[in-house]
């Protein structure tokens, strides 16, 4: 084989076709001229996949792709999968199922971002989610393109549907055992969260859309769970959404991470640098010690910065450590 066949470009195209687009080796071979500019046999495709280090699918995964169904006798459910599903369901994910008993369930995600739809569903790989497809043409009635992806049906997902849907009309309800973890919360934020900051008024707002859920569930389940992770929040009276209190915005991003997993949503993590610093009240709680540190700041004994408008004394992690050592 020619030297350039295993170039980075070829390996990336092969990985995209096999892993991302979930093509079979037969399909890759059949379309190899279009994909790579030259014909590659089925056997060669298989050999190349192994040689460039792409993990091969299990037999059950390959069969499920051909038949369009999963091995229903095998469970793929793990704590990680439940975290992922809960994160999607708190946001704009849904589980489609046959009423009234939630049978034949599959997870679905619709959004205006192809990257988010692809990322959100990629975490459910054992259930063979399909590549995002546009579900309608963009026109006056539908000004934004909507991308949709869904998994195959599986009893694991039936079990999750029964956690999330209840009552005569099978309404979506937050389960008592909902997972509030860094994984589930970042998925929730990516799907239905927003962060805004105005420099002029020095105002920040972090909101999680929860208008479809009952207020009592938010106040009795979600808010206490967030509080366990030092995140203070409340339900607003107007839209029934959850707002993260200003002093907890840093704690929220410390919990989920400060960077978007894909560039399309970088704007959701565009937090002013000063918000990442430590306020004096986070370093010391005693009033006498606060006054002492404020005195040090005014006399230049410790380095610090101020928030826009000068309301807060702010310190880096190293500066905070120096203050604690001196007190």
Could you say which of 273, 293, 311 is where a domain stops?
Answer: 273
Domain membership of residue 269 as a residue range: 185-273
The pLDDT score that the predictor gives to residue 92 is: 87
Same domain, residue pair 39 and 104: no
Assess whether pLDDT exceeds 50 at residue 4: no
Task: Return d(Cα 312, Cα 306) in angstroms, integer.
Answer: 6
Same domain, residue pair 269 and 284: no
Residue 65 near residue 22 (C-beta atoms within 8 A): yes
The pLDDT score that the predictor gives to residue 280 is: 81
Residue 275 near residue 199 (C-beta atoms within 8 A): no
Assess whether pLDDT exceeds 50 at residue 77: yes
Residue 242 near residue 222 (C-beta atoms within 8 A): yes
The pLDDT score that the predictor gives to residue 142 is: 65
* CATH assignment of the domain containing 215: 3.10.28.10
Can you tell me the mean pLDDT for 143-150? 87
Residue 92 near residue 85 (C-beta atoms within 8 A): no
Q: Judge whether 69 lies within some domain.
A: no
Can you tell me the mean pLDDT for 72-79? 88
- Least confidently predicted of 65-74, 128-137, 202-211: 65-74
Q: For residue 227, what are its two tokens? A: 């509080």
- Least confidently predicted of 62-76, 105-119, 247-261: 62-76
- Least confidently predicted of 9-13, 147-151, 179-183, 244-248: 9-13
Assess whether pLDDT exceeds 80 at residue 62: no
Same domain, residue pair 211 and 254: yes
Can you tell me the mean pLDDT for 214-234? 95
Can you tell me the mean pLDDT for 74-90? 94
Total domains, the chain: 4
pLDDT grade, residue 1 (50/70/90)?
Answer: very low
Could you say which of 148, 171, 194 is where a domain stops?
Answer: 171
The pLDDT score that the predictor gives to residue 63 is: 54
When the pLDDT of each residue in the chain is averaged and rounded to a whole number, the result is: 85
pLDDT grade, residue 3 (50/70/90)?
Answer: very low
Q: For residue 25, what are its two tokens? A: 């080796």
Predicted model pTM: 0.73
Assess whether pLDDT exceeds 50 at residue 276: yes
């Amino acid at each position: 084989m020619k030297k350039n066949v295993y170039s980075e470009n070829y390996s990336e195209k092969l990985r995209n076709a096999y892993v991302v687009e979930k093509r079979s080796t037969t399909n890759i071979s059949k379309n190899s001229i279009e994909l790579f500019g030259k014909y590659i046999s089925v056997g060669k495709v298989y050999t190349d996949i192994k040689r460039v280090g792409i993990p091969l699918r299990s037999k059950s995964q390959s069969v499920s792709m051909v038949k369009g169904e999963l091995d229903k006798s095998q469970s793929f459910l793990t704590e990680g999968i439940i975290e992922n599903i809960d994160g999607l369901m708190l946001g704009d994910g849904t589980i489609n199922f046959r009423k009234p008993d939630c049978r034949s369930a599959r997870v679905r995600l619709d959004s205006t971002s192809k990257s988010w739809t692809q990322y959100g569903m990629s975490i459910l790989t054992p259930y063979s989610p399909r590549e995002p497809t546009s579900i309608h043409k963009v026109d006056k009635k539908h000004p934004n393109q909507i991308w949709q992806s869904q998994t195959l049906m599986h009893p694991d997902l039936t079990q999750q549907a029964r956690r999330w849907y209840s009552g005569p009309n099978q309404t979506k309800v937050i389960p008592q055992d909902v997972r509030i973890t860094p994984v589930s919360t970042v998925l929730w934020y990516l799907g239905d969260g927003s962060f805004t900051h105005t420099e002029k008024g020095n105002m920040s707002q972090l909101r999680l859309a929860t208008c479809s859920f009952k207020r009592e569930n938010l106040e009795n389940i979600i808010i206490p769970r967030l509080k366990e992770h030092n995140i203070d929040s409340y339900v607003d009276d107007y839209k029934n959404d959850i707002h993260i209190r200003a002093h907890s915005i840093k704690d929220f991003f410390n919990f989920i991470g400060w960077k978007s997993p894909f560039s399309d949503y970088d704007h959701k993590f565009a937090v002013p640098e000063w918000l990442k610093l430590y306020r004096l009240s986070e370093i010391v709680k005693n009033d006498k010690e606060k006054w002492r540190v404020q005195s040090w700041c005014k006399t230049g004994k410790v380095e610090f910065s101020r928030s826009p408008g000068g309301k807060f004394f702010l310190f880096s992690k190293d500066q905070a450590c120096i203050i604690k050592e001196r007190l």
